[in-house]
């Protein structure tokens, strides 16, 4: 079962179809990036998924249920939206204490201390949140969102307005939650660099339609296979290396370019290609995998959609 399952979701505002039947799913432990230009329909989608907005057609399920209709289910998710839900007039600890009581946690003091430590704010626990920097508030907001140990975490633009160092801390927190706690994360973001670094899969939404949906790795490697460039240490190896690669069934489009050979791996790993080249005595100096950046993929998806509109 997918953790988040959106099927043919439609939403109309004033007769205009803002979501035109979108579908995607997020599996357990994934960090999913939801991308799209301003006005694409991301917030509308998230509001439908969170059960805050009723779709006109289709369904949006989280952990097998409808968050709008199932109270106990809501306890199993954590949400950090633009407004971090913290009170400026309370200290960091008092803010978390309040939510720990709200969630009726078993060992509230321990959990609050643990989460203050997790986000690196234990030394500032008695500071008033109103005096905190944007980065500190964001970290405390994340601690607040995961205090009750949810299975799924929704984050809306978690790094917006943060300096590079604070962005990095937020990124590390997300990776920790996913890798160490096995949390599934839904990340709404315009920061393509951040998404490329932390997300395992992405969907690109544009004008109410999903234009791309796949793992980050598959999107970056391209549909036809992984492009590699093998740089050879001596010119004599080039022809021999090209011959070896052409003889491998899972490799196509082998071309000689100066002191390099380029190829597309369709059913063979880069490691297997390198092994074959070394066995054939080719002086392999460097192997580069040529991957598109998420930014290139995003811009291509959006422009292609605009071209076809």
Ligand X SMILES: Nc1ncnc2c1ncn2[C@@H]1O[C@H](COP(=O)(O)OP(=O)(O)OP(=O)(O)O)[C@@H](O)[C@H]1O
Q: Residue numbers of the site for ligand X (CB under 6 A)?
A: 13-14, 18, 36, 38-44
SS3 category, 154: strand
Q: Are strands 226-232 and 260-265 parallel, antiparallel or unpaired?
A: antiparallel
Number of H helices, E strands in the chain: 11, 13
CB atoms within 10 A of CB 217: 11
**Residue closer to ligand X, measured from CB, 13 or 134:** 13
**Residue closer to ligand X, measured from CB, 91 or 189:** 189
Query: How far apart are alpha carbons 223 and 220 in whole angstroms?
Result: 9
**Residue closer to ligand X, measured from CB, 45 or 260:** 45
**Residue closer to ligand X, measured from CB, 18 or 86:** 18
**Residue closer to ligand X, measured from CB, 17 or 70:** 17
Phi-psi group of 112: left, alpha or beta (phi > 0 → left; psi -120 to 50 → alpha; rest → beta) = alpha
Please, what is the minimum distance in Å from the beta carbon of residue 53 to ligand X? Answer: 8
Q: Are 215 and 243 in contact (CB under 8 A)?
A: no
**Run of H or E residues at 92:** helix 92-102
Please, what is the minimum distance in Å from the beta carbon of residue 39 to ligand X? Answer: 4
Please, what is the minimum distance in Å from the beta carbon of residue 148 to ligand X? Answer: 26
């Amino acid at each position: 079962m997918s953790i988040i399952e959106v099927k043919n979701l439609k939403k109309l505002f004033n007769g205009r179809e803002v979501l035109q039947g979108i579908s995607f799913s997020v599996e357990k432990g994934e960090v999913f990036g939801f991308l799209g230009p301003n006005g694409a329909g991301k917030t509308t989608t998230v509001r439908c998924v969170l059960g805050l907005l009723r779709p006109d057609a289709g369904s949006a399920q989280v952990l097998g249920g409808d968050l709008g209709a199932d109270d106990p289910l809501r306890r199993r998710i954590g949400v950090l939206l633009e407004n971090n839900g913290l009170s400026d007039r309370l200290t960091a600890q008092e803010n978390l204490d309040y939510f720990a009581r709200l969630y009726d946690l078993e060992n509230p003091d321990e959990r609050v201390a643990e989460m203050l430590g997790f986000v690196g704010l234990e030394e500032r626990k008695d500071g008033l949140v109103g005096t905190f920097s944007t980065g500190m508030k964001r970290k405390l907001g994340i601690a607040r969102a995961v205090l009750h140990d949810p299975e799924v975490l929704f984050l809306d633009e978690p790094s917006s307005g943060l300096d590079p160092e604070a962005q990095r801390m937020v990124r590390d927190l997300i990776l920790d939650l996913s890798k160490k706690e096995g949390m599934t994360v839904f990340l709404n973001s315009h920061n393509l660099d951040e998404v490329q670094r932390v997300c395992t899969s992405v969907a690109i939404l544009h004008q109410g339609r999903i234009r791309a949906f796949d793992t980050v790795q598959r999107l970056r490697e391209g549909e036809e296979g992984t492009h590699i460039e093998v740089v050879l240490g001596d010119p004599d190896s080039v022809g021999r290396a090209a011959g070896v690669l052409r003889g491998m069934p899972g490799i196509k489009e082998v071309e000689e370019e100066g002191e390099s050979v380029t190829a597309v791996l369709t059913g063979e790993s880069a490691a297997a290609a390198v092994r074959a080249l070394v066995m054939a005595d080719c002086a392999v100096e460097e192997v580069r995998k040529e991957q598109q950046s998420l930014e290139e993929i995003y811009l291509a998806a959006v422009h292609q959609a605009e071209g076809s509109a």
